[in-house]
Amino acid sequence: MSIDSVTPLNAGGWEAVIGLETHVELSTASKMFCGCRADIPEEPNTACCPVCLALPGALPVPNEQAIEGIVRIGTALGCEINETSLFYRKNYFYPDLPKNYQISQYTFPVAEHGALEIDVEGEPFTVGITRVHMEEDTGKSTHVGDGGGRIHDASHTLLDFNRAGVPLVEIVTEPDIRTPEQARAYGAELQRVVLALGVSDAKLEAGSMRFDANVSVRRPGEEFGTRTETKNVNSLRSLQRAVAFEIERQIAVLESGGTIVQETRHWNEDTGKTSSMRTKEESEDYRYFQDPDLLPLSVDETWRLRAVEALPELPGAARTRFRDAGVDPVNAETLLDNPALAALFTDAVAAGAPGRLVANWLTGEVIAQLRRDEVDVSDTSLSSSHLVELASMVDGGDLSSSAAKDVLTRAMAGEGTPRAIAEANDLLQVSDTGAIEEVVEQVLVDNPDALEKVRSGDMKPLGFLTGQVMRQMGGKADPKVVQQVLRAKTQGE
């Protein structure tokens, strides 16, 4: 495979093989198979009904909007959407799983065979998508007792089923990923795709988007090594760290003559390590079979075409557009992660503002200000027309770039339009050549020594003279114009 030839190898010539499984909770109004609210209220067991509690006699009825959501995700990931897909029962006993089976998919998922193009520090990389399938979330267990919430030391457990039955989409990649950086970039790009589609809030810290990382190592060209599955990865940074740790751990085990055990491992954010979860007595046998309570899903051609037409601009296309507008790669990624800023950018550029400059403001002063005030851009008064006006003032020499930043923060604070702010605060730059000429002439008269030097070919005092002019003009002169005038006056006469 051509991938191998460009694959970065780890110390000792080991190659990592990584596949990611991502669970995304859809932000529908109601749960996957019942009408309880899907936004998981804090008060335990207040969003529960016979269906999501698995009371005897209750039956699941699929939420059409959730199916629409997964079709959108599958379409955005370039998957084939199966005309017919099937719900299965995945049978295993666990106290947070009310039916003691999870409704999921097995053969014939909603979508399969897609790909996601990602950007790893400026380099494009493609991750194959094996499948995208629909399932339901479990309830939440709280372990109570001496162990401070740790399962092994708990005396008993409390169960809250508010989350049980929330629609969950699982996205499984091919084992295409080779580095922790790629894993992270994939996670970030997938999150952006899901956010762009508006089907989930995709909050890693809140668990509405979660990663499981399958990691193995091998010598290039060899068969895949034994893999481990690492769970409890709840940030992009943890994803990168957990994968990196697991690669190093496996290499160390193998190089010391050991073997890798196929197991589930738990990422501990505090220690920065993965650890083996207590293994069950025997391997799981999920006894998948088609759920007789649910009919086959049929996504016909009309629906599939509608999903394609309804796709918003995806992050890959947006990245290209930003870069084509002159935005540097780092700022382009920042815009991709800030849809509200990206929207301002898009509108400003459409109205003729220079992309690079606007992007610099948005990803610089604007973000810094938002972070300081802990607000969203929509909470401020900043509009795209402000950006357009500001850019044209800088471009026209009415405002220095440092003054522009000041005006920008004032515009965010609602002090008015940039021009009004600049005028009110006396920040407008003087680029009227006549006014500048007057001051320049006076400065030259006051500094005959400097003038003499320049005239005799020593250009050093030019900077000093410029500074004098700027000082006398209270910093509001356009320095470019000042220099032009100085040159003309010293050379020409």
Q: Which residue, 278 or 371, has its beta carbon nearer to other proteins?
A: 278
Among 19, 60, 180, 225, binds other proteins (CB under 8 A): 60
Q: Smallest gap, in angstroms, from Cβ of residue 110 to other proteins? A: 12
280: contact with other proteins by CB under 8 A: yes
277: contact with other proteins by CB under 8 A: yes
Other CB atoms within 10 Å distance of the CB of residue 256: 7
Among 7, 23, 49, 420, binds other proteins (CB under 8 A): 49
Q: Smallest gap, in angstroms, from Cβ of residue 114 to other proteins? A: 23
Determine the size of the site formed for other proteins (CB under 8 A).
71
- Give me the residues paired with residue 144 across strands: 156
Two tokens, residue 234 = 């709840």
- 3-state SS assignment for residue 348: helix
Q: Which residue, 277 or 435, has its beta carbon nearer to other proteins?
A: 277
Binding mask 161-190 for other proteins (x = CB under 8 A): x-----------------------------
Q: Smallest gap, in angstroms, from Cβ of residue 29 to other proteins? A: 5
Residue type, 171: I
The crossing angle, in degrees rounded to 10, of helices 329-336 and 315-324 is 140
Q: Which residue, 89 or 178, has its beta carbon nearer to other proteins?
A: 89
- 3-state SS assignment for residue 297: strand
**Residues in region 296-315 near other proteins by CB under 8 A:** 296-298
Query: Cβ distance 125 to 181 under 8 Å?
Result: no
Could you tell me which of 198, 196, 260, 201 has the C-alpha nearest to residue 227?
260
DSSP codes, 200-245: ----TTTTSEEEEEEEEEE-TTSPP---EEEEEE-SHHHHHHHHHH
Among 205, 222, 223, 281, binds other proteins (CB under 8 A): 281
Among 8, 12, 50, 122, binds other proteins (CB under 8 A): 50
Q: Which residue, 223 or 281, has its beta carbon nearer to other proteins?
A: 281
Contacts of 237 (CB under 8 A, 6+ apart): 184
Q: Which residue, 141 or 385, has its beta carbon nearer to other proteins?
A: 141
Spell out the long-range contacts of 119-123 with Cβ–Cβ below 8 A and sequence spacing 24 or more.
119/185, 119/189, 119/319, 119/329, 119/333, 120/179, 120/181, 120/182, 120/185, 121/181, 121/185, 122/329
What stretch of H or E contains 119? strand 111-120
**Burial class for 267, CB neighbours closer than 10 Å (0-12, 13-18, 19+):** buried
Q: Which residue, 287 or 487, has its beta carbon nearer to other proteins?
A: 287
What is the DSSP secondary structure assignment for residue 79, as one 8-state letter? P
- 3-state SS assignment for residue 156: strand
- Please choose, out of 38-46, 225-233, 316-324, 422-430, the segment that lies near other proteins by the rule CB under 8 A: 38-46
Query: Cβ distance 116 to 186 under 8 Å?
Result: yes
Among 47, 243, 244, 327, binds other proteins (CB under 8 A): 47
Two tokens, residue 349 = 């550029």
Contacts of 449 (CB under 8 A, 6+ apart): 461
Q: Smallest gap, in angstroms, from Cβ of residue 33 to other proteins? A: 9
Q: Smallest gap, in angstroms, from Cβ of residue 282 to other proteins? A: 7
Q: Smallest gap, in angstroms, from Cβ of residue 249 to other proteins? A: 21
Among 3, 11, 55, 252, binds other proteins (CB under 8 A): 55
**Residues in region 107-166 near other proteins by CB under 8 A:** 141-143, 145, 151, 154-161
Among 3, 11, 61, 308, binds other proteins (CB under 8 A): 61
The crossing angle, in degrees rounded to 10, of helices 180-197 and 236-255 is 150
In angstroms, what CA-CA distances link 464 with 189, 307, 436, 487, 490? 51, 64, 16, 13, 13
282: contact with other proteins by CB under 8 A: yes
Residue type, 199: V
Among 12, 80, 84, 458, binds other proteins (CB under 8 A): 84
The torsion region of residue 249 among left (phi > 0), alpha (psi -120 to 50) and beta comes to alpha
Q: Which residue, 48 or 341, has its beta carbon nearer to other proteins?
A: 48
Instruction: Report the distance separating Cα 117 and Cα 484, nearest Å.
Output: 49
Among 22, 63, 208, 369, binds other proteins (CB under 8 A): 63
Q: Smallest gap, in angstroms, from Cβ of residue 405 to other proteins? A: 45
Two tokens, residue 73 = 């995700």
Contacts of 491 (CB under 8 A, 6+ apart): 455
Q: Which residue, 159 or 435, has its beta carbon nearer to other proteins?
A: 159
Q: Which residue, 148 or 257, has its beta carbon nearer to other proteins?
A: 148
Q: Which residue, 229 or 347, has its beta carbon nearer to other proteins?
A: 229
Q: Smallest gap, in angstroms, from Cβ of residue 277 to other proteins? A: 7
Among 22, 70, 72, 98, binds other proteins (CB under 8 A): 98
Binding mask 16-35 for other proteins (x = CB under 8 A): ------------xxx---xx
Q: Smallest gap, in angstroms, from Cβ of residue 212 to other proteins? A: 16
